[in-house]
Amino acid sequence: MSKLLIKNASVIATMDDDRTELINKSIYCEDGRIIQIGVIESFNFNADVVIDATDMVVIPGLVNTHHHLFQNLTRCYPGSQNESLFGWLTNLYPIWNNILPSDIYISTLIGLSEMVISGCTTSSDHLYLFPNGSKLEDQIEAAMEVGCRFHATRGSMSIGESKGGLPPDSLTEDEDYILKDCQRVIEKFHDSSDFSMLKIALAPCSPFSVSQNLMKQTAKLGRDFSVSLHTHLAENIEDIIYTQEHFGMRPGQYIEELGWVGNDVWHAHCVKLNKEEIDLFSRTGTGIAHCPCSNMRLGSGIAPLRKWIDEGVKVGLGVDGSSSNDSGYLLSEARQAMLLQRVNFGANKFSPREALFTATRGGAEVLNRDDIGQISIGKAADFAIYDLNKIAMSGAWSDPLAALILCTPLETAYTICNGEIISQNGHLNNFDLNLFLEKHKAASKRLLGL
In the shown chain, the binding pattern of residues 340 to 369 toward Zn ion, with x for contact by CB under 5 A and - for none, equals: ------------------------------
- The count of chain residues that interact with Zn ion, using the rule CB under 5 A, is 2
DSSP 373-401: SS--TTSB--EEEEES-SGGGTT-TT-HH
The smaller minimum CB distance to Zn ion, of residues 71 and 423, is found at 71
The three-class DSSP label of residue 148 is coil
Q: Give CA–CA dist 414/116, Å, rounded.
A: 9
In this structure, are residues 64 and 386 in contact, taking their beta carbons and an 8 Å threshold? no
Q: Return the beta strands (E) in 311-431 as ranges.
A: 314-317, 383-387, 414-417, 420-424, 427-428
Q: How many CA atoms lie within 13 A of 385 on its CB side?
A: 28
415-427 per-residue burial string, b: 16 or more CB within 10 A, e: under 16:
bbbbbbbbbbebe
Give the nearest distance from C-beta 232 to Zn ion in angstroms.
6
- 151: closest CA among 183, 119, 186, 106? 186
Q: How far is the CB of 2 from Zn ion (least distance, A)?
A: 35
- Between 124 and 368, name the residue whose CB sits nearer to Zn ion: 124
State the nearest-atom distance from the C-beta of 144 to Zn ion, in Å.
23
Strands 21-30 and 198-204: unpaired
Task: Closer to Zn ion by CB, 37 or 268: give it.
Answer: 268
Interactions with Zn ion, residue window 44-63 (CB under 5 A): none
Smaller CB separation from Zn ion, 320 or 420: 320
> What x/- string results for residues 268 through 307 when contact with Zn ion is judged by CB under 5 A?
x---------------------------------------
Contact (Cβ atoms closer than 8 angstroms) between residue 331 and residue 404: yes
Tell me if 61 sits within 8 A of 122, measured CB to CB: yes
The contact mask relative to Zn ion for 236-275 (x = CB under 5 A, - = no) is --------------------------------x-------
Phi and psi at 421, nearest 5°, equal -75, 115
Give least dist CB 67 to Zn ion, A: 8
Please report how close the Cβ of residue 196 comes to Zn ion at its closest, in angstroms. 23
Find the binding residues for Zn ion in span 302-341 (CB under 5 A): 320
Between 266 and 308, name the residue whose CB sits nearer to Zn ion.
266
Which of 122, 206 has the CB closer to Zn ion? 206
Supply the minimum distance, in Å, between the C-beta of residue 75 and Zn ion.
15
How wide is the angle at C-alpha 233 spanned by C-alphas 228 and 235, nearest 5°? 140
* Distance in Å, CB of 128 to Zn ion, minimum: 9
| C-beta closer to Zn ion: residue 268 or 413 | 268
Q: Closest distance between Zn ion and the C-beta of residue 399, in Å?
A: 33
Amino acid identity of 131?
Answer: P
The DSSP H or E segment spanning 67 is none
CA gap 305, 303 in Å, rounded = 6
Specify whether the CB–CB gap between 203 and 156 falls below 8 A.
yes
Tell which residue, 27, 32, 30, has the closest CA to residue 9: 27
Q: Give how far the C-alpha of residue 75 lies from the chain's centroid of Cα atoms, to the nearest Å.
A: 18
* Residue with Cβ nearer Zn ion (231 or 418): 231
CA–CA dist 366, 229 (Å, integer): 11
CB of 322 to Zn ion, least distance (A): 11
Smaller CB separation from Zn ion, 265 or 268: 268
Handedness of CA 347, 358, 340, 263 (dihedral sign): negative
Q: How far is the CB of 261 from Zn ion (least distance, A)?
A: 19
**Spatial separation of the C-alpha atoms in residues 227 and 186, rounded to whole Å:** 8
Nearest distance, CB of residue 320 and Zn ion, angstroms: 5
- What's phi and psi for 7, nearest 5 deg? -110, 145
Query: How many angstroms separate the CA atoms of 336 and 305, rounded?
Result: 12
Q: Quick one: 328 or 419, whose CB is closer to Zn ion?
A: 328
Tell the smallest beta-carbon distance from residue 417 to Zn ion (Å).
24
d(CA 205, CA 80): 19
User: Nearer to Zn ion by C-beta: 69 or 428?
Assistant: 69
| Residue numbers 418-447 binding Zn ion by CB under 5 A | none
Closer CB to Zn ion, 131 or 426, in the complex: 131
Residues that bind Zn ion (CB under 5 A): 268, 320
